[in-house]
Each structure stands twice: as C-alpha cells, then as structure tokens.
Structure 1
C-alpha cells in the first residue's frame, strides 16, 4: 500500500469494487476506522489525502472535507469515524465489536465522551502550545485518571472485554499519540507508568493486537510529524517509501 497523500490536482484512482477509505496517515480519527476494518478482517483500499492541499474530488465523499470518509459503493460515501464505525459493526456483524447490552453500549459512549477533554488538551499541547491554559494539563490528567479507573472497575484485559472492541479502537489512536508529547517538549503530559501502571499496561496490550500492530506508529514518528506540521510544512509523505525509492538525483547545472 502506497502511503503517498494525494493533493490538489491529483486524479482520483479508479474504483476497484472494494470498500474504499479516504484517510490521512497521521489522523487519529481516520485510524479509528482503519482499526475497526482491520479487526473485522474486511477487504478495503485506502486513499490518503493531503488535508492542507485537498484533492478537488474529496468533497464528493466528505462534504466537510474531513477524513475519514468511506466509499461503500462507487460514488456513494459516509463520513465521520463514529458514524462509519457503527455502520461497519452493524453491516458486518461476523466480528461484533459492541456489546449486545444497550446499557453497556451507552456506558462505552460515556467513556469516550469523558475522554474528549484529554484529546482536546493533546491537540493544543501538540499543535498550538501557546494557547495552553493553566488547567489544560489538569484536564488531560483527569481524563487519563478516569480511563484508568474504568479499566480497574471493569477488570477485563480491554475495556470491551478480554478482546478489544469499538470503545478500545476509538480511544487507542489518541493514546498512541499521547506518548509523543514528551518528545516535543511537553514532559508534563507524560504517561508515567508510576502513576498510570494499569493504563500503560493496557496500552502495551493494545499494541500487540493484530488490527493495531499493522497500522501502529511509534512516538518518535508521531513527534516528527508534529514538528513538521508546526514548522508550517507538514510532512504527510514521510512514510511513503515508494516516493523515496523512485527519486533520482538531479543533474548538476552546467
């Protein structure tokens, strides 16, 4: 799979008949859907797009110009990770990722909602540090503490059960990125094992899940992307080995 991000002026690849996901490789929301599709062993293709210089055809699949967007039939798509993932879980029930209990499903949604403050604090710390408020670090750690408490209460390996489910795949992409914050000069956001032993163990267990292992990026890679974006030139294609291998040295000017 090429990880080149298509941009303004690039042609939309032909539709193959498979599910097709429009994504950005460093987007946690798009990663949510990738993990769900991997967990369900679905056959799909991914088209990565440059969100700073969006292809003209992206709006045909995502009216807001956001990712992820899922093309489920040629020319027909839905967007927003939460909408897509519930659709996939209902459309392809062979590997169920939600509880059959309506109350448990509601509780999972509450866990995600209560974690939103930590996600917001991450974005500010990573991409707009000058806008950090005095309570941002507190909000971040309150979100982590609440999540660790919920793991303790449930007493299972993952939030869903002894196998990960939709709630786990919804939260993990942000936890993956949280580990990059100390590497970009934000040590106060560290996920310390001394303080978060249960949560860190959960995070390490999630990294071993095949659906995640196939897509996971380490903290150093996330830090490089964050730094490139903050310099005003986000390096969307840093993982595209096809671009590297095909580069030829330029001829010296006479």
Structure 2
C-alpha cells in the first residue's frame, strides 16, 4: 500500500466498494480507528492526506478537514475517532471491543477523559516546548500513574481484559508516541521501567497485539516525524516507498 499523502489539487481516488478511512499516517487519532478496523479484521482502504495542504474533497467527508473520517458508503462518511470506533463496534459486533457492563463502559470513557491531560502535555513537549511548564510534566506523569493504578486495580493483562478492547486502542497511540519524547531530549518524560513496571509490561504486551503490529511505528520514526513537523516542514511521505522502482539487474550479454 502506498503511504503517499494526497494534497491540494490531487484527485480523489475511486471508491473501491469497501470501507474507506481518510487518515494521516502519523496522527494518533487516525491510528485509533486503524487499530479498531484491524482488530475487527475488516476489509478497508486507506487514503492518507496532507493536513497542511488538504485536498479539496476531504471537506466532503469531514467538515473541518480533520482525520480520521470513515466513508461507510460511497459519499457517506462519519468523522471523529470516538464516533467512528463506536459505530464500527456496533455495526460489526463480532468480537466486541466494549465492555458488556454499562458501568465498565462508563469507567472506560472516564479513564480516557482523565488521560487527556497527559496527551496535552505530550503535544506541548513535542511541538511547542518553549511553552512547556512544570505542571504539564506533572500532568503527564499523573496520566501514567493513572493507567498503572487502573491496570493494578483491574488485574487484567489489558485495560479491557484478557484481550485489548476499545479503551486500549483509544489510549495506545499516545503511549506509542510518548516513547519518542526522551529521544527528542525531553528526559523528564521518560517512562521509567522500574517506577512504571506494570505499565511497561502492558505496553510491551500491546506492541505484540496483531492490530498494533500491523500499523505501529517505532519511537525513532515518531521522533523523525516530530522533528520535521516542528521545523515547519512535516515530512508526511517519509514512509512512502511507492516511487521506489525495484528492478532485477539485467544479465550481461554473453
């Protein structure tokens, strides 16, 4: 699959009859929906877009031009990862990703909401470090402590249970990116393997989940993209190999 990001002036690819997700390869919110699609083993197409030079047609699927957006029928789409992922879980109920207990579903939503301050701190540290305050570092670590405590209280391998669920796929894309912060010189954001032993065990387990392995990126790659974005020239196509031509060498004439 080509990971080239389409931009202003590029034509909308023809609809292929499958679910189609509009995304940006390095967007954690788009990754949430990719993980759910993968976990559900659904067939889908992905269209990556350049968020700085957006193709005109993205507004037909997402009013604000944000990603992800899911085209579930030709010309009909949903936007916002939370809306998309609940829709996918309800539309395709095999292997449900939400808890059957309404109280646990509510607790999962509250956990995601409380974790948001750590996400906000990450964005500041990664893309606006001059605005970073000590309170943000504290909020970041409170988020990590929150997850570790929740894992301990639940006593399960994943937040959802013995297998990952929607709550895990919602939080994971940020944990994946958190590991890039020390590589960017933000040592205060390191996830200490001793202090956060249970959380690290959870993260290691998430990296082995098929839905994550099929799409996740290493910290070094997130570092490189973050640096490019912080410089003002985000390298959206750094992973695209579609233009590389692999030809067998010609045999020499005898």
TM-score, scaled relative to structure 1? 0.96
Q: Which residue matches 2:116?
A: 116
Q: Which residue matches 1:67?
A: 67
- 2:204, 2:118 → 1: CA distance? 19
Q: Please list every run of at least 4 consecutive aligned residues from structure 1 whose deviation after the TM superposition is greater than 4 angstroms.
A: none
Q: Which residue matches 1:7?
A: 7
1:72-111 → structure 2 map (5 Å cutoff): 72-111=72-111
1:143-158 → structure 2 map (5 Å cutoff): 143-158=143-158
1:71 Cα offset (Å) = 0.2
- 1:108, 1:14 → 2: CA distance? 37
- 1:48, 1:12 → 2: CA distance? 11
3-state SS, counterpart of residue 243 of structure 1:
coil
- 1:231, 1:18 → 2: CA distance? 37
Which structure 1 residue ranges, 5 or more long, are not aligned? 247-254
Q: Is the 8 A contact 1:122 1:140 kept in 2?
A: yes
- Deviations along 1:6-59, one digit per CA (max 9) or x if unpaired, are 000000000011000000000000000000000000000000000000000000
- 2:123, 2:244 → 1: CA distance? 30
What CA RMSD, in Å, does the superposition of the two structures yield over aligned residues?
0.8
- 2:187, 2:109 → 1: CA distance? 29
3-state SS, counterpart of residue 77 of structure 1:
strand
Q: Which residue matches 1:179?
A: 179
1:1-254 → structure 2 map (5 Å cutoff): 1-245=1-245
- 2:60, 2:133 → 1: CA distance? 38
Q: Is the 8 A contact 1:4 1:243 kept in 2?
A: no
- 2:245, 2:147 → 1: CA distance? 43
- 1:8, 1:245 → 2: CA distance? 25
- Deviations along 1:176-213, one digit per CA (max 9) or x if unpaired, are 00000001110100011011000011000000000100
Q: Is the 8 A contact 1:24 1:67 kept in 2?
A: yes
1:133 Cα offset (Å) = 1.6
- Deviations along 1:71-91, one digit per CA (max 9) or x if unpaired, are 000000000000000000000
3-state SS, counterpart of residue 111 of structure 1:
helix
1:243 Cα offset (Å) = 2.6
Structure 1 residues 245 and 122: alpha-carbon distance in aligned structure 2, compared to 1, 3 A threshold: farther
3-state SS, counterpart of residue 70 of structure 1:
strand
Which structure 2 residue ranges, 5 or more long, are not aligned? 247-254
